[in-house]
Amino acid sequence: MADAAAGTLLIAGATGVLGQELVRRLAGRHRFAHTRVLVREPIREGLSGVETVCVPDAPIDEWPPVEAQTALVLFEPPRLYYDRERALWTPAPAQLPALARWLRASGVASLAIVQPHFQGRLPEALKRGLASLDEEAVVAEGFERVLLVRSAQKPPQVRHASPAERLAAWMLSITRFMVPSSEQPVRASKVAELVDIALRIAPPGARVMAPETVWQASQGDVREVVDAWLAGSR
């Protein structure tokens, strides 16, 4: 298929380590002719060819369209000790259907969504298929390509007030050893490389990449794993 580098990339949720890696890889290496990043307040662009788009303080359905051919959506929250990241706009999971409608109205044909989930929490039957009505609604919008990448995420650290709560949390934490290594989180640079390659070579259609496939890609040749995934062997 034609290289997806032709055209404009729009990124929603360019925050956290993964968002930073994807901007560096896709925009910094000029994979696309132009890149637009959604922000909540004006900030100065730091990379050549990257433009910020300040979204209105209104429901997504009321936003004016922004021309783009490819879109990347991430849900990693901003790191609050990074002033620049606090200015970036990051979607909440519940906003995904409205965001998909807006992206399609903006002319987006190829959509990649990186959806982090906690280790071992996603039922086996849903790892390689649509897991919610929201995901089904996204696919139904009529994009030429939809790539759903499920990347494992460590559970957040929780502070426990009482000794009893700490003991219960410790006992429950033992279950982390039951999570297979193939569902463990991988380096952001590998996820970024995987998304980059998948956006370039995936044919039309909707596809879901399970966390095991993401992990396999981190262990060796990413292109080989993506090729096998597209061929249906992983």
What's the pLDDT tens digit per position in 100-143?
A: 999 999 999 999 999 875 544 444 544 555 667 888 899 999 99
Tell me the average pLDDT across 162-186: 55
Tell me the average pLDDT across 86-113: 93
Give the span between the Cα atoms of 19 and 222, in whole angstroms.
19
Give the span between the Cα atoms of 19 and 10, in whole angstroms.
12
- In sequence order, the 6+-apart residues with CB closer than 8 A to the CB of 210 are 127, 128, 150
Domains of the chain: 8-231 (3.40.50.720)
Where residue 63 falls among pLDDT bands split at 50, 70, 90?
very high
pLDDT of residue 120: 45
pTM: 0.79
- In sequence order, the 6+-apart residues with CB closer than 8 A to the CB of 36 are 8, 9, 10, 11, 50, 51, 52, 53, 66, 68
What's the pLDDT tens digit per position in 185-215?
A: 667 888 889 999 999 999 999 998 888 888 8
Where residue 76 falls among pLDDT bands split at 50, 70, 90?
confident
Q: Which residues pair with 207 in a beta bridge?
A: 147
Give the span between the Cα atoms of 37 and 87, in whole angstroms.
11
Residue 44 has pLDDT above 90, yes or no: no
- Give the pair of three-digit tokens for residue 186: 């991988």
What's the pLDDT tens digit per position in 1-42?
A: 444 456 899 999 988 888 888 888 888 666 788 899 999 888
Give the span between the Cα atoms of 194 and 225, in whole angstroms.
9
